[in-house]
Structure 1
Amino acid sequence: MLTVQQWLKRSARDVLDESDEILHVKYQLIYTIGSQRPVDAGAQRWKTIQLILELVKKNAEDVARNYSKDISYEKSLRSSHFPSFRLLSHQPFRSLAERIANDWLSEQSYRQEERQLLLSFILETNASIECLNNRFSQDILQRVLILRGLLSSEVLFVALTKRYRVNFGVNPNPKFNRRMAVPFRAKDVAAENTEFGHPDSAIVLTQLFYY
Structure 2
Amino acid sequence: DQSTQLKKQREEKLKLLYSIDEFKFFDILDESDEILRHGKELNYTLGSAKPLDGGSMRWEIPFLIFKFIFCDQKFREILKSSSQSDDCPVVFQENFRPVTGIGGGCPLVRFIKHEYFIKNIKRNLSREFSKILLERFREKETDIIDDNGEEYGSYEDFIKGESFFKENKIIELLKTKNQDMLNSFLLVKAWLSHELLYHVMSYRYRVEYGLSEKKGKEIAIPFRGKDLPSENSEFSHPDIMIGFTILSYLYRGLDLIQVKHGLMRLKSDRKQDKDSLLQKWVQENRNWINEQNQRENEEFPEWLTSFRTLDLENEDKIV
TM-score category of the 2 structures, normalised to the smaller one: 0.7 to 0.9
Q: 1:187 to 1:77 in 2, by over 3 A?
A: closer
Q: CA RMSD in A?
A: 2.4
- Mean Cα deviation higher: 197-206 or 69-78: 69-78
Q: Which residue of 2 aligns with 1:62?
A: 78
Q: Deviations over 1:18-49 (max 9, x none)?
A: 11111111132512233321112111111111
Q: Which protein is richer in helix relative to its size?
A: 2
| Match among 221, 229, 234 for residue 190 of structure 1 | 229
Q: Give the SS at the match of 2:157.
A: helix
| RCO higher in structure (CA 8 A, sep ≥6) | 1
Give the corresponding residue for 1:88: 112
Equivalences for residues 171-182 of structure 1 within 5 A:
171-174=212-215, 177-182=216-221
Following superposition, the deviation at residue 204 of structure 1 comes to 0.8
What residue is the counterpart of 1:121 in the other structure? 158
Counterpart of 2:196? 155
Secondary structure, counterpart of 1:85 in structure 2: strand
Letter in 1 for 2:229: A
Moved more, 46-55 or 22-31: 22-31
CA shift, 1:164, in A, is: 1.1
Point out where structure 2 has 5 or more consecutive residues left out of the alignment. 1-23, 98-103, 146-152, 251-319
Distance 1:90 1:77, change over 3 A: closer
Q: Distance in 1 between matches of 2:123 and 2:212?
A: 34
Distance across 1 between alignment mates of 2:143 and 2:199: 31
Is the Cα–Cα contact under 8 Å of residues 190 and 196 in structure 2 kept in the other structure?
A: yes
Alignment of 1:40-55 (within 5 A): 40-55=53-68
Inter-partner Cα distance in structure 1 for 2:188 and 2:68: 12
* Residue type at the aligned position of 1:104: F
* Equivalent residue in structure 1 for 2:239, among 185, 200, 210: 200
Larger Rg: 2
Q: Deviations along 1:155-190, whole A, 9 cap, x unmatched?
A: 11010011111111111134xx41100110112111
Match of 2:154, SS state, is: helix
Matched-pair contact (CA < 8 Å) for 2:82–2:89: no
Structure 1: stretches of 5+ with no match in the other structure = 1-10
> What TM-score does the superposition give when structure 1 sets the normalisation length?
0.83
Is the 8 Å Cα contact of residues 125 and 152 (structure 1) preserved in structure 2? no
Equivalents in 2 of 1:77, 1:101: separation in Å? Answer: 27
- How many pairs were matched up? 198
1:31 alignment partner in structure 2: 44
